[in-house]
Chains A and B, each alone.
Chain A
């Protein structure tokens, strides 16, 4: 038999931990396989799934022994709301880990998160913490409530928060905060940025990095159908040697993390 033991499994919900701003940490029973920061899972509820396709989510947190894991989920539509309507003990079907993580060989990246774009960075921060280092994390939102998960990352990373309305941390967009840190010499040209958040924010961060001479990796949120490489529905336009001249790349396989210069708009 050629099949490997990758499974779509039903995991029981442990609890929903409210993080504010309409977001929750959805904690499920393990076993959660070893997962690298930036990899994702396709999720659907076992019962009463109101839509057809499963939905992609980064793994937010994981017990060191895999005995539980969690996803940072914001209710934005039917699928996410069905996940947040689950009661403890009910089943969530997981398929993963899928996709490629953030690069593993960057010494000390600067992470930039917007909203639920925080999700992949908690595991990364924990990884650094375990090596006795503090990951720099810029975390932006509209207001304090939108910084869902701030309390989770603060103990494990060096967090610079920003809010558009000034209700917490730096007053302004996260790009302005990044520029400010560059001006103050906290962040230097040649350093590497990992970014995850809404599209307009990622565009802005990528543009700023290009201007200031920083390398920039983006974790994209594209629509997906299968999440495991068979439908070719999740493609983005790309360039660069990694793609051997082919103009499109499947975000669920070669992504969701791309270097900004690989993406063609």
Chain B
């Protein structure tokens, strides 16, 4: 009932962690049985260590939060030596969650290096964080240029031996152009969306609140935007979509599935409830049992024309209702 597939990657259920919101899963193992989660996505790993942005790095906003972590991580060598073995321990030889490594490069070459190293390390899939500046192109973000997106995916796909997902940024005029570019580059799937750029100001200090000034908005506030973007991408590309943005209930998960997502990632909501992923999986089962549906049947169903009216109009009502044109 909950089984889903992301290209060749088969998952027991469609619940994944979102990059950067669950570490490498090791801290979270304290709170629930992660063997029940479809897959864990690591936080972004870069070739070189990155100290990240100056604090304060987080600020709560109405139904959401801003973050400017700045991809703090100790680099690929450290990750391979220290974090990946822990993730593999959680994966428990295939009995636990699948392991997806999110990679961030500042050049095509860095993306290629990371893809090679993590493919060789035996992870289940890669997620390419396109919200990274390309130093060879004046620090233009990969995620904002169809050409750079396609180049990055093509280069990664050439060396990767596992499925590759492209993680898209919502901070673009038309996300479908980027989705199409990722598909053309050979991506096996699309993750949408990353955070929306925002800011907070303290008028008393007359200063931005975050150390870096701006940050990424996440949480329930962005769900309608994420849902719309998943819906648009689903119309544009044939590859599977991982929906992410503001999910905190099983209903949210199914909304994304109806919009066209094959799986859903949980981010900010895990800060409020560290055992949320497993709880959502259980709630999904209950909701789908009641509705007598499967994830596969629901996927993309919001795109289908409403074949069966939900209720038959009564004769009087049918007469009174004016014909709708157009």
Residues in chain A within 8 A of chain B (CB atoms) = 1-4, 6-8, 44, 51-54, 95, 222-237, 246-248
Rounded to whole angstroms, the CA-CA distance of A237 and B53 in the bound complex is: 10
Interface size class of B (residues with CB under 8 A): 35 or more
Say yes or no: A52-B268 contact (C-beta < 8 A), given A1-B33, A2-B89, A231-B21. Answer: yes
For A4, the chain B residues whose CB sits under 8 A away are 29-30
Q: How many residue pairs at the A-B interface have CB separations less than 8 Å?
A: 109
Chain B, 227-264, contact with A by CB distance < 8 Å: what is the 0/1 string? 00000000000000000000000000000000000000
Q: B201-232: contact bitstring with A at CB < 8 Å (1 yes, 0 no)? A: 00000000000000000011000000000000
User: Contact: B57 with A52, CB < 8 Å?
Assistant: no
Sample (14) of A-B pairs whose CB atoms are under 8 Å apart: A1-B33, A2-B33, A52-B63, A52-B219, A52-B272, A53-B65, A223-B56, A226-B270, A228-B31, A230-B270, A231-B58, A246-B74, A248-B52, A248-B55
Check B67–A228 contact: CB distance below 8 A: no
Q: How far is the CA of A230 from the CA of B275 in the complex (A)?
A: 13
Residue of A nearest to B73 (CB): A232
Known: A2-B34, A230-B23, A237-B54. A52 touches B220 (CB 8 A): yes
Cβ-based interface call for B72 (8 A): yes
Report chain A residues within 8 Å CB of B96: 2
A226 and B57 alpha carbons, distance in the complex (Å): 13
Q: Are B30 and A231 in contact (CB under 8 A)?
A: no
Are the CB atoms of A3 and B34 closer together than 8 Å? yes
Residues of B within 8 A of A222 (CB): 55-56
Q: Are B31 and A8 closer than 8 Å at their CB atoms? A: yes
Q: How far does the Cβ of B75 sit from chain A's closest Cβ, in whole Å?
A: 11
Determine how close the nearest CB of chain A comes to the CB of B280; give it in whole angstroms. 14
Chain B positions within 8 Å of A, measured between CB atoms, are 20-23, 27-35, 43, 51-52, 54-60, 63-65, 67, 69, 72, 74, 89-90, 92, 96, 219-220, 268, 270-275
Contact B34 A235 (CB under 8 A): no
From B30, B59, B60, B69, give the contact of A6 (CB < 8 A): B30
A230 touches B65 (CB 8 A): no
> In the bound complex, what is the Cα–Cα distance between A2 and B55 (angstroms)?
33
Contact of B272 among A54, A236, A237 (CB under 8 A): A54
The reply to whether A235 and B55 contact each other, CB–CB distance below 8 Å, is yes
Q: Given A246-B51, A248-B52, does the pair A6, B31 have CB atoms closer than 8 Å?
A: yes
Q: Which residues of A contact B30 (CB under 8 A)?
A: 3-4, 6, 228
A3-B31 CB under 8 A given contacts A44-B272, A52-B64: yes
* Set of chain A residues within 8 Å of B33, measured between Cβ atoms: 1-3
Say yes or no: A95-B274 contact (C-beta < 8 A), given A3-B31, A237-B54. Answer: yes
Residue of B28, B43, B64, B96 ringed by the most chain A CB atoms within 10 A: B28
On chain B, the residues within 8 Å of A247 by CB distance are 51
